[in-house]
């Protein structure tokens, strides 16, 4: 991992929140720059190339959606959006435009820091063909899954689903993205089809049905692989 | 036409017919025409008179032609009508005049009817254009539509009459002169289930039954109209269509206004949520910063922890108030999807970790418990509120228990504590009515309302060994339907 301190661009129209978050980020060993709207954030992004953008969605002049759209034309850097409760349509729209995750306002700093760590961790992991999580190993190249030291058999669809989720560990994957990536957008594939296969996958990999360890549902949005990858 | 004018015309026709027949016969005699040619000329004269004038003129011309045929032709001056040729001529003239005048009369009558029908159609067309193209409410009011309809029928009055089963008559819309026999005439039309026409001083009064609405039966009435019953029926149908069209426009405008109002409420609530949550986030972050700076000062840390707890309570109350506002504003429309109880409980645990760190939560999901068919955000609100209530009402060392199990009609979720939420009383497992509770906070109110919105049922029970048990029965997701 690079020794360079990650640079976070925080975008929100509330000046007090901007200065508080920036101070908190700096005290947690991040570098932070701020912007008050999407247009200003885009200028900052082009000037300094941050490692992650954290942006509010509702802002005057140029909002968070505009920012995500513009940034995604030029870069694949992680984007976390700040949304309010019960705004799943906004979340899905932001994720479909290319955002990587969301945090619901009011958020706590530990919550935001956890999401930042997950995004920073995810980037180098993408290059690996073997992904290791507590109790679970997914060998993407050999198409093998080891659960608690025992190889388990998955159907090709379940394996494709698991591969998609683990390669995006920590990040919500929308139902539409799953249909597009696993079923290649095959006609007749509904979100219920995805749910049926997810349930089948869970039965095979979740040791305790009452407390999921690996796959969590993001209501209306999709699924998130919640286990943290093991350090190599 | 008055009877005096008819009589004058009749006399004129007869005199004219006699004069022409005599003139033609005299000319024939002078010029020395033979009998056949003279008969042919007289025949043509009778035909022309029958066609041009009236049936009476035709008959008069026939008689005059026979008489002059007998008088002028050889032997001149004799009135012998017993000769067979004279009888043949008389019968021939009569048949020709009768047939011609009948045919002409029928043709004139048909032409008059066709003209009347054409005028009615033109009036109906003008009326439909006026009724359906002027959409501006000011240019086409309810009464204007009726007035236009009655004008198209040249009626002196009329409107829509509603007749109830007890026989009472209501003029829903009326314009112009009244009709003294309205009820009996409308009843006749309803019994016939067809338009009924009644003679009136000027034209006729026509009653047309219209479509029934529940027990009410409606009749369109045109008083003293010159139009045919068929035209009245058509105008009645147009007017009914126009009323239906107006109702549809009003319903559409209402639906549009509701949709706009719903979107506005949702947008306002989202803005309020954003505006309340942003400073709340700032307060939480400020407390985080203070906690880090004053980590070495136990007294300050205690006060910061207390402030954090207050912030959490405030946050929860704001969320509850917003949820209640959404519910009351109709901005909450449940969007069911299959919800795994384990996922739901994971959300509850996350909430507890943030809101009440350290509080023990026991989670149980029965093996093969089906997924719930409900809106996940509503379910989370229900459970979070119930768990918060349980947290406040029970000793902190006691675990709060949440459980999901299959029941015959769906899934049962239970939240159990050892607290003092429900009044003590006899009988564990006994249901406690919500109205019997000493106090019902907003949290329980939201849980109850959201359970109802999720097609579920919430019950509070006295728990065996003390405490409260909240039971929420919800529909299970039908996997078979989804797979197909």
| Beta strands, E only, B291-399 | 337-339, 361-365, 372-374
Backbone angles phi, psi at B304, to 5 degrees: -65, -40
Rounded CA gap, B288 and A20, in Å? 10
A84 touches chain B (CB under 8 A): yes
% pLDDT > 70, chain B? 89
Rounded CA gap, A18 and A27, in Å? 14
Tokens 């043949």 correspond to B88
Query: With an 8 Å Cβ cutoff, are A109 and B285 in contact?
Result: yes
* Cβ proximity of B196 and B187 under 8 Å: no
Q: What angle, rounded to 10 degrees, do the helices at B35-52 and B55-72 form?
A: 160
> What is the ipTM metric for this complex?
0.75
- The DSSP bridge pattern shows strands B217-225 and B157-163 to be antiparallel
Highest mean pLDDT among A55-64, A155-164, B66-75, B387-396: A155-164
Residue B383 has what pLDDT? 94
B41 touches chain A (CB under 8 A): no
Residue B457 has what pLDDT? 93
Per-residue DSSP letters for B5-45? HHHHHHHHHHHHHHHHHHHHHHHHHHHT--HHHHHHHHHHH
Enumerate the residues of chain A whose CB falls inside 8 A of the CB of residue B340: 199, 202, 212, 217
Give Cα separations from B15 to A175, B36, B71, B178 (angstroms): 102, 25, 18, 48
How far does the CA of residue A141 sit from the closest CA of chain B (Å)? 30
Closest residue of chain A to B308, computed from CA coordinates:
A108
Q: Is A147 helix (H, G, I), strand (E, B) or coil?
A: strand
B277 touches chain A (CB under 8 A): yes
Bridge partners (DSSP) listed for residue B290? none
Enumerate the residues of chain A whose CB falls inside 8 A of the CB of residue B271: 58
Residue B125 has what pLDDT? 83
How far does the CA of residue A125 sit from the closest CA of chain B (Å)? 26
Helices (H) and strands (E) in chain A, counts: 8, 12
Rounded CA gap, B116 and B228, in Å? 9
Closest residue of chain A to B380, computed from CA coordinates:
A219
Enumerate the residues of chain A whose CB falls inside 8 A of the CB of residue B337: 191, 195, 219-220
Enumerate the residues of chain A whose CB falls inside 8 A of the CB of residue B341: 210
Residue B141 has what pLDDT? 55
Chains A, B: CB contacts within 8 A come to: 109
Backbone angles phi, psi at B247, to 5 degrees: -65, -45
How far does the CA of residue A177 sit from the closest CA of chain B (Å)? 18
B207 touches chain A (CB under 8 A): no
Handedness of CA B19, B20, B23, B24 (dihedral sign): negative
A21 touches chain B (CB under 8 A): yes
Residue A50 has pLDDT above 80, yes or no: yes
- Name, in order, each residue with C-beta under 8 angstroms of A60's C-beta and a sequence gap of 6 or more: A13, A37
Rounded CA gap, A110 and A83, in Å? 17
Across all residues in chain B, what is the average pLDDT? 81
Residue B435 has what pLDDT? 62
With CA atoms as reference, report the closest residue to A90 among B255, B267, B45.
B267
With CA atoms as reference, report the closest residue to A86 among B333, B262, B388, B341.
B333
B333 against A124, higher pLDDT: B333
- The DSSP bridge pattern shows strands B204-209 and B196-199 to be antiparallel
C-alpha distance across the termini of chain A, in Å: 11
Rounded CA gap, A125 and A114, in Å? 17
Which residue numbers in chain B have pLDDT < 50?
137-138, 484
Residue A79 has what pLDDT? 95
């Amino acid at each position: 991992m690079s020794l360079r301190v990650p640079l976070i661009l925080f975008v929100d129209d509330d000046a007090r929140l901007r200065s508080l978050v920036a101070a908190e980020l700096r005290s947690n060993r991040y570098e932070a720059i701020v912007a008050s709207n999407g247009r200003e954030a885009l200028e900052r992004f082009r000037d300094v190339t941050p490692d992650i953008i954290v942006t509010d969605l509702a802002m005057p002049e140029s909002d968070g959606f505009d920012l995500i759209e513009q940034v995604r034309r030029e870069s694949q850097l992680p984007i976390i959006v700040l949304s309010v409760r019960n705004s799943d349509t906004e979340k899905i729209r932001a994720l479909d435009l290319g955002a990587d995750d969301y945090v619901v306002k009011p958020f706590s700093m530990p919550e935001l820091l956890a999401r930042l760590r997950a995004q920073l961790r995810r980037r180098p992991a993408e290059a690996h063909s073997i992904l290791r999580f507590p109790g679970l190993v997914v060998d993407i190249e050999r198409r093998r899954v080891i659960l608690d030291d025992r190889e388990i058999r998955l159907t090709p669809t379940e394996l494709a689903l698991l591969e998609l989720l683990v390669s995006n560990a920590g990040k919500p994957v929308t139902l539409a993205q799953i249909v597009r990536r696993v079923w290649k957008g095959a006609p007749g594939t509904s979100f219920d089809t995805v749910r049926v296969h997810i349930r089948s996958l869970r039965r095979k990999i979740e040791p305790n049905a009452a407390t999921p360890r690996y796959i969590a549902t993001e209501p209306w949005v999709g699924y998130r692989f919640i286990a943290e990858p093991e350090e190599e | 036409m008055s009877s005096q004018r008819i009589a004058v015309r009749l006399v004129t026709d007869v005199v004219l017919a006699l004069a022409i027949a005599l003139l033609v016969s005299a000319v024939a005699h002078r010029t020395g025409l033979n009998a056949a040619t003279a008969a042919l000329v007289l025949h043509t004269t009778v035909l022309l008179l029958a066609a041009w004038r009236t049936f009476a003129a035709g008959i008069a011309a026939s008689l005059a032609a026979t008489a002059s045929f007998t008088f002028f032709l050889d032997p001149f001056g004799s009135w012998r009508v017993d000769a067979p040729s004279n009888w043949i001529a008389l019968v021939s003239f009569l048949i020709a005049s009768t047939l011609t005048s009948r045919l002409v009369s029928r043709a004139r009558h048909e032409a008059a009817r066709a003209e009347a029908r054409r005028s009615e159609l033109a009036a109906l067309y003008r009326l439909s254009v006026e009724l359906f193209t002027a959409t501006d409410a000011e240019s086409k009011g309810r009464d204007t539509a009726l007035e236009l309809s009655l004008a198209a029928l040249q009626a002196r009055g009329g409107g829509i009459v509603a007749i109830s089963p007890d026989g009472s008559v209501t003029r829903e819309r009326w314009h112009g002169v009244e009709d003294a026999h309205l009820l009996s005439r409308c009843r006749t039309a309803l019994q016939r289930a067809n338009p009924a026409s009644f003679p009136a001083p000027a034209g006729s009064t026509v009653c047309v039954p219209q479509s029934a609405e529940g027990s009410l039966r409606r009749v369109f009435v045109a008083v003293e109209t010159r139009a045919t019953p068929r035209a009245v029926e058509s105008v009645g149908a147009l007017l009914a269509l126009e009323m239906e069209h107006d109702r549809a426009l009003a319903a559409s405008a209402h639906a549009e206004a509701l949709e706009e109002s719903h979107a506005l409420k949702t947008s306002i609530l989202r803005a309020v949520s954003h505006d309340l949550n942003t400073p709340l986030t700032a307060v939480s972050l400020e407390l985080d910063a203070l906690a880090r700076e004053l980590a070495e000062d136990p007294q300050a840390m205690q006060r910061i922890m207390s402030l954090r707890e207050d912030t959490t309570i405030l946050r929860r109350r704001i969320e509850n108030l917003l949820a209640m506002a959404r519910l009351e504003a109709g901005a909450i429309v449940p969007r069911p999807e299959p919800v795994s109880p384990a996922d739901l409980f994971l959300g509850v645990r996350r909430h507890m970790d943030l809101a009440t760190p350290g509080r023990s939560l026991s989670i149980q999901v029965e093996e093969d418990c089906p997924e719930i068919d409900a809106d996940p955000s509503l379910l989370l609100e229900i459970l979070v509120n119930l768990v918060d209530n349980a947290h406040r009402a029970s000793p902190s060392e006691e675990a709060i228990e949440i459980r999901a199990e299959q029941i015959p009609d769906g899934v049962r979720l239970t939240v159990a504590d050892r607290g003092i939420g429900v009044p003590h009383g006899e009988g564990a497992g006994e249901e406690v009515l919500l109205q019997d509770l000493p106090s019902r906070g907003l949290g329980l109110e939201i849980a109850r309302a959201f359970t109802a919105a999720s097609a579920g049922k919430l019950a509070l029970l006295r728990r065996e060994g003390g405490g409260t048990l909240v039971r929420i029965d919800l529909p299970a997701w039908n996997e078979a339907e989804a797979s197909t």
